[in-house]
Structure formats: structure tokens, C-alpha cells
Amino acid sequence: MFKKAKQSRVFQDVVEQIQDAILSGKLEPGTKLPAERELKDMFNTSRGTLREALRVLEQKGLIEIKLGVAGGAIVKQIDAEPIMQSLALLIRSGDVSLDHLAEFRIKIEGAIVELAALRATEEDIAHMEELYTEAKAHFEAGDWENFLLTDETMHTYLGTMSGNPVFQFLQQSIHDNIHNYYDYYLPMNREWTQENLNDLEKIIAAIKAREADTASLLIQDHVNRFNQKMTKRTDGTSA
């Protein structure tokens, strides 16, 4: 399965060969890699280089290294969690500005909602309507915290409705980690929450009517408008 590593870049080649074998399905989840001595001979590399390569693969979430007599390097099921954690750290670090986030969301969510309008099942639409009813109940109770949580759930579910797992992953990652932005820059009040609720109602109606272009424009305007409100707050002016 493996061949001698290119001596000009031994470490990188070892990582890439094992990684390719896992991603291509040649090594399935649960498979135990050959013993360290065998791998060292296969790759014609040192024990130190091999161990470092295995540590990198473990950090990527591709293998799990178990100790003991029955231990070794075991292939893991591909998991998006490490990527989500990295994206979460990037967002929470403060290196992502409000404008960066809005620009990304306008482009991505516009495409996501367009696909959602074309692909959503009747069950998907019914679920969004249930979430809208829940959000409205929080609005009427003046419960801004739970309103925002429901709003984030609705945005995340749009990724599911798109039928594209990449978009689903992006939506989940973004909306799991932007709550702090709202806490800092968007102190909710009845007027703003009503505006948000009205936007959600229009977006759901457009999706239900299968009006993809309209739904896309609505959510782009929604994100842009609320970003402007948050930006004004950072400038010390009222929205």
C-alpha cells in the first residue's frame, strides 16, 4: 500500500501517503495501521520521522494512537469537529471584523437560501414555520436571548435545507459562534426584534413559494441591514 518516501521531503510524503489512503477509502475507519517497525521499513524513514508524521495525522483527526500491547495507530471516522473548532477560535479571536463576517454571510447565505427555496421538502418548510412560531412567542414575551437562539437555529437550518453538506457545515460553524457579536454589538430591543421577525417571515414565505431569487435578495438585505446597525453601535451612534 505504501512506498518509500521521497527523501527530499520524507516527513511530508509519509503524511500525504497515509492521508490519501484514508481519504480514498483504502484504509477504512477501524483499520489498524501496520506496526511501527513495518511502516518504518515501508517508507524507508527513521522512527522519529514516522512518529512525528503519525502525530500530525492524529491532530488532523484521521487516526487515533492507542498505547499498550494491543495499541497502535487506528483509522478514525472522518470528523468535522476539529475544523469547526478552528473556525470557532478564528471567529472568537477578534480577528474577524463585523464587516468580514457580514461580507461572508451575504455571499454564502444568499446562495444557501437560493438552494433552500429550490430543494426544501415540505417537512423542512413546516419545521421552519414551527421555529418562526417559537421565535414569535419569544418576541411577544420580550425574551430577546431565546429569540436570538431561535433565530440562529433558523439560519443554521437553512444550511440543512440547501441539501449541500458543505453549506450545512459552514452555517453550523458560523452561527454556533457569532452569538458574542450580538451580545457586544446588537443589544436587542422590541423595535429591532420586530424587524428581524418580519424579515424571517418574508424569507420563509419566499422559500415556501419557491421564489429562489427573492429569498436570496431578502436574506442578503437582512444581513447587510443588521450589520449596518451593529457598525453604528461600534461608532457610538444610535441605530
Instruction: Confirm whether 1 is domain-assigned.
Output: no
Determine how many CB atoms are found less than 10 A away from the CB of residue 99: 11
Among 25-29, 42-46, 67-71, name the one with the lowest average pLDDT: 67-71
Is there a single domain that holds both residue 173 and residue 211?
A: yes
Total domain count for the chain?
2
Is there a single domain that holds both residue 20 and residue 111?
A: no
* Gyration radius of the chain's alpha carbons: 24
Residue 202's pLDDT band (cuts 50, 70, 90):
very high
Q: Are the beta carbons of 111 and 212 closer than 8 angstroms? A: no
* pLDDT over 70 (residue 238): no
Task: Count the alpha carbons within 13 Å of 201 in the hemisphere toward its beta carbon.
Answer: 10
pLDDT one-digit tens code per residue, 57-108:
998 888 999 887 778 899 998 766 666 666 666 666 667 777 888 898 999 9
Q: Which domain holds residue 114?
A: 81-234
* pLDDT over 60 (residue 237): no
Q: Are the beta carbons of 5 and 20 closer than 8 angstroms? A: no
Tell me how far apart the alpha carbons of residues 160 and 128 are, in angstroms, rounded to a whole number: 11
pLDDT one-digit tens code per residue, 116-139:
999 999 999 999 999 999 999 999
Tell me how far apart the alpha carbons of residues 9 and 14 are, in angstroms, rounded to a whole number: 9
Helices 165-175 & 81-92 angle (0-180, nearest 10): 40
Q: What is the pLDDT of residue 144?
A: 87
The domain boundary, picked from 75, 93, 123, lies at 75
pTM of the prediction?
0.67
The domain boundary, picked from 27, 56, 75, lies at 75
Determine how many CB atoms are found less than 10 A away from the CB of residue 1: 10
